[in-house]
Structure 1
């Protein structure tokens, strides 16, 4: 058996040096479309990550800017008596939750409701 490859066999193994065939053009079009899709996906991911980072930095800056006001409000509420807290519709438990989103204290105690007078 001869291990040498003939010119005819080599021509079958090598890509055609002449004009690319239709399937080669289709393959190139698919390759370019895949590259464009990949680039678009990477760009979208980078935009989302940059947006998330910007929102995080903004939230951190807002928290740092409002921290002294929040501490002062917290300390002022802690100094109130239980009755004063009840008058504004809060309890001691509510003080720790006052800065949570969606916190709503109970209605204040100034709705004109007076206890019935005691019978002597």
Structure 2
């Protein structure tokens, strides 16, 4: 416990080392904005905003959030395409309409076959 207190006391004395430094500071920070011209104020604001944006940037988190959002949106859209709705009492699946349109475009939908006359029971078969 006493070692911890001693370390804290040493850290607090090191914290103010720049005040007692033999090397004077070139600039006072933060500057007094009331004494600065508007152009210098703007320059300091831009510098502060840039540093704040760099500090607040979290590329891995942003990428994970985007990936999660896009994945959930894709899952919902696919679910809605394959879900069976009921319009005016008739079942409806959006995928069926899309598939029918695609089949008619590429020509894979089978043509209706002409009806063959069925042999009647009165005519004897050979």
Fold conserved between structures, TM > 0.5? no
Higher relative contact order (CA 8 A, sep 6+): 1
Q: Going by fraction, where is strand more abundant, 1 or 2?
A: 2
Q: Going by fraction, where is helix more abundant, 1 or 2?
A: 1
Which structure has the larger Rg over C-alpha atoms?
2
Q: TM-score, normalised by structure 1?
A: 0.30
Q: TM-score, normalised by structure 2?
A: 0.29
